[in-house]
Amino acid sequence: MRIKVDRDSKIALYIQIKNQIRDKIYSKVFPQNYILPSERELSDMIKVNRSTIIKAYQELKSEGLIASEVGKGTYVVYTDEIENNEKLHNFINRFYWDEIYSESSKQNYGDSISKIMKTDHGQRIISLSGGIPCPDSFPEEELKKIHMNLVENDMEKVFLHSPVDGYMPLKNEISNLLLNRGIKASPKEIMISSGSQQGLDLIVRTFINSGDVVLVEEPTFFAALQLFKTIGAKVIGVPIDNDGMRTDILKYLIDKHNPKCIYTIPTFQNPTGITMSMERRHELLNISSKYNVPIIEDDPYGELRYEGEDFPTLKALDRNNQVLYLSTFSKVIALGLRVGWIVAPEKVINKLSSLKQITDLHVNTLSQHTMYEFLKDGYYEKHVKRVKKEYLFKRNLMAMELQMDSLKECSFELPKGGYYIWYKVSNKLNSNSLIRRSVENGVNYMPGQLFYNKLGENNNYIRLNFTYPRREEIVERIKRLKDSIRQVR
């Protein structure tokens, strides 16, 4: 609604406003029942005293052109009847959106992540449930410097559009970074995505048909489970042990189900923290080659190793180009950046790009430039070293707190890296009672059943994140968690 007032005019402001609204009603720009802004809203919009608006509205009311009703507001009333207008009224508020959702969106259960993200930034949540880096370890000084520089010197450039597959200098830097992970990928084999979450979404939509079978580790990342189900895939879980995905069972499942692809988080798996052994890595690649089933390797945590030797990624060992590799800066730097990437054969990158272009065109330009500068200036390596030190401390702290006066029938394996402790609680406990009691006691975690293919299964595990909470919060919250377990018992 556009109302223009001319303060130099001899016509009183309230009359100017009244006339413009009246004209819009007569010309049917505002139709019958059209809801006008409230007096306060209109006064804010056109920066005119509220009493002026009240006067204008009063005039219009006395002319019978508008009326007010509690709950409805101020609306337009036609003095002469408009033909066939009754028909409309029969439909008011009768539009049933629930009945027309697509089949795929019905698969999209729950909104667990959404609830976690929906937090007030004013009061920092103290939660063990997220998968978020520690805000205190955020590389504030480095990013400040980079931003000041970009804003000073490249302002226009960082707001312009970018290529669909990503800003080339950033792709070059990522190509260098990948050498550390044993991956040789040219920039043409790299595509920037809005986090690795989008990378997975693009891959799923590009390769998977409704009805296709996807093999995943069980348990696995719940958003991946949801993505596969949303596209209509049949998800089948492959059990894991302390060496990662059970490749013996994998073979059997491939024979039986003829799957479209295998999804794996081989290093510091979400939620279990388990890392696939070298032997299993080779076996998995052999099986993938032999049966011609591609692998989606999701590697958000790989750089966060707190002890032992790094294993090469599957992509590093991939001589057949049978692995699509996903990674991100979200878990190492900050979630809000939304910068991740895909490594794939060039023709697959082109195919993924043609989907990305109609999905959201490209990743935010400023973020891409920021990450480029961050890598180029050598801040990345230093930052990773710093957060690893902090997360090692926090992992040990949480483990210590869990072990102290340890609870009967509760246990965990210490993960060698990553974000999570996968904590087994006594299976005599009712998991619903435990989560209710824990929330009452002010501690939040991810219930294990979210990570299973079939809801409700194996719910005697919970996922605890040790990177996001502050040190003192870890101590406090684990104490509360243990209290909750004792109380529910």
Does 383 sit near its own copies (CB under 8 A)? no
Give the span between the Cα atoms of 184 and 312, in whole angstroms: 12
Binding-site member from 315, 362, 383, 463 for its own copies (CB under 8 A): 362
Return the bridge partners of 216, or none.
237, 263
Binding positions for its own copies, 339-358, rule CB under 8 A? 345, 347-348, 350-351, 353-355, 357-358
Does 70 sit near its own copies (CB under 8 A)? no
Residue type, 19: N
Q: Whose Cβ is closer to its own copies: residue 56's or residue 488's?
A: 56
**Interface size with its own copies, residues (CB under 8 A):** 126
Is 441:296 a contact under the CB 8 Å cutoff?
no
Q: How far is the CB of 379 from its own copies (least distance, A)?
A: 14
Q: How far is the CB of 407 from its own copies (least distance, A)?
A: 32
Give the span between the Cα atoms of 426 and 407, in whole angstroms: 9
Cβ atoms within 10 A of the Cβ of 184, count? 11
Binding-site member from 18, 55, 246, 260 for its own copies (CB under 8 A): 260
Does 1 sit near its own copies (CB under 8 A)? yes
Does 156 sit near its own copies (CB under 8 A)? yes
Binding positions for its own copies, 288-347, rule CB under 8 A? 289-290, 292, 294, 309-312, 316-317, 319-322, 333-338, 345, 347
Output the DSSP codes for 145-172: HHHHHHHHH-TTGGGS---TT--HHHHH
For β-strands 446-447 and 461-465, DSSP reports them as antiparallel
Rg (CA), the chain: 29
Does 5 sit near its own copies (CB under 8 A)? no
Binding positions for its own copies, 188-207, rule CB under 8 A? 193-195, 197-198, 201, 205-207
Binding-site member from 68, 108, 258, 396 for its own copies (CB under 8 A): 108
| CA dist 195 → 36, 198, 219, 338 (Å) | 42, 6, 22, 5
Q: Whose Cβ is closer to its own copies: residue 226's or residue 449's?
A: 226
Give the span between the Cα atoms of 464 and 435, in whole angstroms: 13
Q: How far is the CB of 433 from its own copies (least distance, A)?
A: 26
Q: How far is the CB of 411 from its own copies (least distance, A)?
A: 30
Indicate the Cα dihedral angle 455, 246, 224, 336, nearest 10°: 120
Q: Whose Cβ is closer to its own copies: residue 69's or residue 309's?
A: 309
Stretch near its own copies under the rule CB under 8 A, chosen from 149-157, 406-414, 423-431, 432-440:
149-157
Does 104 sit near its own copies (CB under 8 A)? yes
Q: Is 156 left (phi over 0), alpha (psi -120 to 50) or beta?
A: alpha
Q: How far is the CB of 406 from its own copies (least distance, A)?
A: 33
